[in-house]
Chain A
Amino acid sequence: MTDKTLLSVRDLNAWYDESHILHGVNLEVREGETVTILGRNGMGKTTTLRSIVGILRKRTGTISFDGTDLMNRPLHHTARVGIGFVPEERGIFSTLSVEENLMLPPVVSDTGMTVEEIYQLFPNLKERRNSQGTKLSGGEQQMLAMARMLRTGVKMLLLDEPTEGLAPVIVQRIGEVLQTLKARGMTILLVEQNFRFASKIADRFYVMDHGKVTDGFDLAELPAKMETLHEVLGV
């Protein structure tokens, strides 16, 4: 981890049609860091990720990544500057085979993993590389959604609820994969409901409530925060 700020979000407001969802979100992610956004459902966590990526266009404020202002760039520039997005619904394509899904996103830098390295990390995907993408199990689809971003050489992954609806053994496997990525120096911004899972891999936390970041703290401060967190998160 370095002290260099990779992603910086300042006073981010965002709207779905007429409804105002984000009310001035501020957050920062440093290079090599894994940051988790915690919060109950409907507090704006997914909206924050979608606004950073640029899928949600009705937004104000500033978003800068590695010194590049992202606000006025078209959606297809987001990956090119180095941000890979893994959506909550995983977004595996049914008309593409597993391998076609894996090869779909264009390579943006030469720091990505090779296909062999990816198949080593996810042997299941290699076995089923000729199957239809959506024939995979939920866990395998999540692995594929992550794997296809690793090939591209993005500097940062935005992961939206990667463990949602998955069996504990798969959740553990995803945790291992994220540790491997951390060790390789990947910067990760994670939205997660599974607090236990998040506490094992995150270096830092933000808490979101009603469209704002209301708290931010390091892993070391977590034990002291547990009581307030239980209240805020309702867990």
Chain B
Amino acid sequence: MIMIFGIPIQAFLGQLLIGLINGSFYAMLSLGLAIIFGLLRVINFAHGAQYMMGAFAGFLLLSWVGVNYWFALLLAPVIVGLTGIVIERFALRRLYNLDHLYGLLFTFGLALVIEGSFRYFYGTSGQPYETPELLSGGVNLGFMYLPIYRGWVVVASLIVCIGTWLLIEKTKLGSYLRAATENPTLVQSFGINVPFLLTLTYGLGAGLAALAGIMAAPIYQVSPLMGSNLIIVVFAIVVVGGMGSIMGAIVTGYMLGILEGLTKVFYPEASNIVIFVIMAIVLLIRPAGLFGRDA
């Protein structure tokens, strides 16, 4: 048997892949958080709830109206994005002139209300969501058995991350977003409707969370608490990557997912805390984060 650093290569590569899959969700979620924080200066604690809503939207679309996974993949982000737009337009907007803490507290409260409501109707036990037929089954990679759906998640998340990055770095709309992140008042004086841009951005961030949610539905069970379990780790990733850095959020998401997976091989006891240990170290050495600019 081939060994690598004293452990079987199968176990090593297996955990690497599991880490990559977790990292795919981390990257998509921290990306949305970074976009929202960059422009709105709001630490969106409702992000986990919006991820959960995405998964539930997929689940309910299927069980109520028979909408399959592929349509849910489009519809769930739109539905949750629209709720985000309503939240920004009627509530969040009123808090911009106050201390950032208010935005954090509001979205935190919102997350509790949303999760509590879903728990009231669906309890805490998860609802199963079947893997779409096209992506069921798996392939034997030699070192491990890879369920096709998980491979799809890695590819799809890469496409989403790169697509979002291109949208922000290479398009006209992206240049509005970047400029408004730097100096919203001046950008508005140029004739760009910045308040509308903020609404749109919150909707986009919420929609990204929902997209991750519907993609997670066949892997993890659809449960009201699925977001709150994940979101604390994602916040740690955003801190490590640097608040508001888009590329930082993506790269750090994958990186820490893989690192977490590898820790499971080498020292399983530490796998639940490794991301937080790294966050603490990064905060001590580079408070602005690995990819953040010193403010």
Contact = CB atoms under 8 A, between A and B. Distances in A.
Contacts, number: 59
Interface in B168-220: 172, 175-176, 178-179, 181-183, 185-195
Contact of A95 (B178, B185, B190): B178
Contact of B191 (A91, A93, A96, A152): A152
Contacts of A179: none
A53 B188 CA distance: 10
Interface of A: 53-55, 74-80, 85, 87, 91, 93-96, 100, 103-106, 108, 152
Interface of B: 172, 175-176, 178-179, 181-183, 185-195
Given A95-B181, A103-B175, A104-B175, A78 B186 contact: no
Nearest to A81: B191
A106 B181 contact: no
A89 B157 CA distance: 41
Contacts of A95: 178-179, 181-182
Contact of A76 (B172, B179, B193): B193
Contacts of B183: 91, 93
Nearest to A134: B182
List 10 tightest A-B contacts by C-beta distance, closest first: A79-B191, A105-B190, A95-B178, A91-B186, A75-B188, A93-B179, A100-B175, A76-B188, A80-B191, A76-B193
A142 to B, nearest CB: 15
Contact of A94 (B182, B188, B190): B182
B283 to A, nearest CB: 24
B175 A55 contact: no
Contacts of B193: 76
A76 B183 CA distance: 14
A108 B175 contact: no
Given A75-B189, A76-B189, A104-B187, 11 more contacts: A55-B185, A75-B188, A75-B194, A78-B189, A79-B190, A91-B186, A93-B179, A93-B182, A93-B183, A95-B179, A104-B190
Contacts of A76: 188-194
Contacts of B182: 93-95
Contacts of A85: 186, 189
A175 B109 CA distance: 57
11 contacts: A74-B188, A74-B195, A75-B189, A76-B193, A78-B189, A79-B191, A93-B182, A95-B182, A96-B175, A103-B172, A105-B190
Given A76-B193, A76-B194, A96 B179 contact: yes
A105 B179 CA distance: 10
A87 B191 contact: no
B189 A106 contact: no
Nearest to A99: B175
B179 A104 contact: yes
Contacts of A74: 188, 195
B162 to A, nearest CB: 18
B179 A106 contact: no
B179 A78 contact: no
Contacts of A104: 175-176, 179, 187, 190
A53 B189 contact: yes
Nearest to B196: A76
Nearest to B194: A76
A80 B191 CA distance: 6
Which residue among B176, B189, B192 has the maximum number of chain A CB atoms within 10 Å of its CB?
B189
Nearest to B184: A75
Contacts of A93: 178-179, 182-183
Contact of B190 (A96, A100, A106): A106
Which residue among A77, A91, A95 has the maximum number of chain B CB atoms within 10 Å of its CB?
A95
A152 B175 CA distance: 16
B168 to A, nearest CB: 10
A21 to B, nearest CB: 17
B175 A79 contact: no
